[in-house]
Structure 1
Amino acid sequence: MRFFKNCVFCEKKLVGRTDKKFCDPQCKSAYQYKKSKEIPERFYNRVDNQLKLNRKILKEYNKGGKVIVRANMLIEEGFNSNFFTHYWKNSKNDIYLFVYEYGFLKKEEKYILIKWQDYMQKKIPLG
């Protein structure tokens, strides 16, 4: 006996196994894609996407190694200073936040942008 029901995606009649849900791999793929778009973006993806955007913006504005930029220029591009990968404190106790190799420090309505340098790596004495 054949069992008939409809494809979950395109609603064509299904022929075959009783547990079959899709008429072909394309319908299955299209259904999974549609379903994934309905689910809110996962936290990891939101963080990763913002870090990538921040890095892109910092890289774009910091062509010279050290630059001062108005904060609103970065924010208008989508920059969010709450997303960073690590930090570095200089000898003046200023704390630069970094997005990978690009750093920033907010001073009033401006950002000081820098690029990671080898001397910023802390040396841990052995012994």
Structure 2
Amino acid sequence: MRIHRGCLYCGKELTGRTDKKYCNLHCKSAYQYQKIKEQPERFYNKVDNQLRLNRRLLKEYNKAGKSVIRSEVLTGQGFNPKFHTHHWKNQKGEIYHFVYEYGFLQKTENRKEKYVLVTWQKYMENR
């Protein structure tokens, strides 16, 4: 006795093996993709995605090795200063936060929030 079942993705009636779940590879792939999209994003993925976005923005706005940019420009594009990989303290006591090799220092000048963007240098390793 054969049980008639439908494809898990499109519902089309299946023929062939009794343990078959999908009518073709497209339906199998689409069903798996749909299941993954329904699952909530894992914490690790959220952190990794934010770090990648932060690094990309810092790299994009710091072509010269050191630059200054208004904070609303970066935060408007999704930059989140709470996500960084490490920090470095200079001789003045200012703390630069880094996302891998690109760093930033939050400053307020003339009541406007700004970021000083820098690139990691060899001399920073010894502190």
1:116 aligned onto 2:120:
yes
Deviation at 1:84, TM superposition (A): 0.7
1:31 aligned onto 2:35:
no
Q: Which runs of 5+ in 2 are unaligned?
A: none
Alignment correspondent of 2:77: 77
Secondary structure of 2:27's match? Answer: helix
Q: Counterparts of 1:1-127 in structure 2 under 5 Å?
A: 1-108=1-108, 109-122=113-126
Question: Partners in 2 of 1:23 and 1:122 — Cα distance?
Answer: 61
User: One-letter code of the match for 1:58?
Assistant: L
Deviation at 1:17, TM superposition (A): 3.5
CA contact (8 A) 1:96 1:104 kept: yes
After alignment, is 10-19 or 65-74 more displaced? 10-19
**TM-score of the superposition, structure 2-length normalised?**
0.88
Identity of aligned residues (%): 62
Deviation at 1:66, TM superposition (A): 1.3
Question: Partners in 1 of 2:125 and 2:84 — Cα distance?
Answer: 17
* Total equivalences in the alignment: 123
- Summarize deviations over 1:13-39 as a string: whole Å, max 9, x none: 122343322122221110011111122
CA RMSD across the alignment: 1.5
Q: Which runs of 5+ in 1 are unaligned?
A: none
